[in-house]
Amino acid sequence: MYYTLYMQQPLQSVCIVGRQPALGLAELESLYGGDHVRSVASQVAGLDLHAHDVNFKRLGGSTRLAHVLAVLPTQDWKRLERQLPQLTTELALTLPDGKIQLGLSSIGLNVSAAKLNACALGLKKVLRAKTDRSVRVTPNPEPELNTAQVLHNHLAGPTGIELLLIAADDGSTVIARTTAVQDIDSYTRRDRGRPKRDARVGMLPPKLAQIIINLATGPVTPTPEKILLDPFCGTGVVLQESMLMGLSVYGTDLEPRMIDYSRTNLDWLIAGADDLQSEILLEPGDATSHRWQPVPDFVAGETYLGRPFTQHPNAEVLAQTVSEVNLILKRFLQNLRGQLPAGARLCLGVPAWQVRPGQFKHLPLIDQMGDLGYNRTRFEHVRDEQLLYYREDQIVARQVLVLTRK
């Protein structure tokens, strides 16, 4: 049953996107094109590419990658459950020797963790009988296993089987096997483990840095011959993630102290890496007037965000902050435009202020990009207003702008 349905579907892999799914979907569209990407469910992106063709380590906006095994025309749990023994057994017979690690995750289906646990134990008995192999089940405290459970129980490893049961928006159920999961331990080291951090200048999460870089480069394959510029480099998070992707990096910042911090952090990164071929150029510079040489291939980074607010400012203070940031960034974009070739691509994280839950005040210059000499990149599957990174209680959000120089 499921094989016939699978052959009728172009869907080959799915990504579970993160806390703000629009950013993950835009990232995938930027790298692989809108024709190859679509939304499957609220936090699931589908691709008509095999999982082997998706560079998962490069993705900041996806927490899991999975290979599609079947697409069934139902979301009824009892009907789905009847399909799992044969599907799981046939999959297990293709695995290398060793104990099978088994887990189930439901995304959007009307099924409890208790029913998933019972199903998993039933599958364990079937697998032991059919394959004569030892099987260990990862229990479900919730219907969906979290990233740490998948990672630390090796469910994405060679002998791991995490079956994702995804309720698609079209009423079908996608069944997929997880092939990769975000290495949350590595992200923690690259965030909190760096020798130099400074909360006063903001702490850009490495995952968001990856998204910004991927939106800036688009489908271009990173190589050390390509240079990425971060004109507001701070402590070097964007530079760090760019180097790990294979790009050479160029960082400037108004504060010489930040250049020293970036240099220390990049030296730390190199010392802990196997083989980074990137070239590094760091220098102090005011982004509103600096002359960048050599000319970069891409520009990516988090710009000046203005005053940090821990509580909502009054209207006068907010207006003053917006005006100040807008002027600085307008001068920066004018300065940058004169130094970039036509068609050069950039992605910037700029501030937006949450004045009410889910309601934001944006920089006036966003509506002036054409006059400033830039075209704003539009995405097929994501609206401009969705490209925001923030927590519910956060006042200063990051609005992600993807631009090309006219």
- Model pTM? 0.95
Are the CB atoms for 233 and 290 separated by under 8 Å? Answer: no
DSSP string, 99-152: PEEEEEEEES-S--HHHHHHHHHHHHHHHHHHH---EEE---SSSS--HHHHHH
Residue span of the structural domain in which 112 resides: 2-182
Q: Are residues 195 and 105 in the same domain?
A: no
Q: Are residues 139 and 7 in the same domain?
A: yes
Q: How big is the CA angle at 38 (ends 17 and 151), to the nearest 5 degrees?
A: 25
Are the CB atoms for 302 and 389 separated by under 8 Å? Answer: no
Using one digit for the tens of pLDDT, what is the confidence trace for 172-189? 999 999 999 999 999 999
Please tell me the total count of domains within the chain. 2
CA–CA distance, 144 with 266 (Å, rounded to integer): 36
Predicted confidence at residue 108, as pLDDT, reads 97
CA–CA distance, 107 with 142 (Å, rounded to integer): 10
- Average pLDDT for consecutive 10-residue bins of the chain (406 residues)? 45 95 98 96 96 97 97 97 96 96 98 98 97 97 97 98 98 98 96 87 88 97 97 97 98 97 97 92 98 98 94 96 98 98 98 95 97 97 95 94 98
Q: What is the Cα Rg of the chain in Å?
A: 23
Predicted confidence at residue 290, as pLDDT, reads 98
- Coil, strand or helix at 252: strand
CB atoms within 10 A of CB 114: 10
Q: Are residues 160 and 249 in the same domain?
A: no
Q: Are residues 217 and 279 in the same domain?
A: yes
Q: Are residues 199 and 265 in the same domain?
A: yes
Q: Are residues 136 and 196 in the same domain?
A: no
Q: What is the DSSP letter of 56?
A: G
In a 10 Å sphere around its CB, with 0-12 CB exposed, 13-18 middle and 19+ buried, how is residue 26 labelled? Answer: buried
Predicted confidence at residue 256, as pLDDT, reads 97
How many Cα neighbours within 13 Å face the side chain of 11? Answer: 27
Predicted confidence at residue 10, as pLDDT, reads 83
DSSP β-ladder status, 345-356 and 37-41: unpaired
Predicted confidence at residue 175, as pLDDT, reads 98
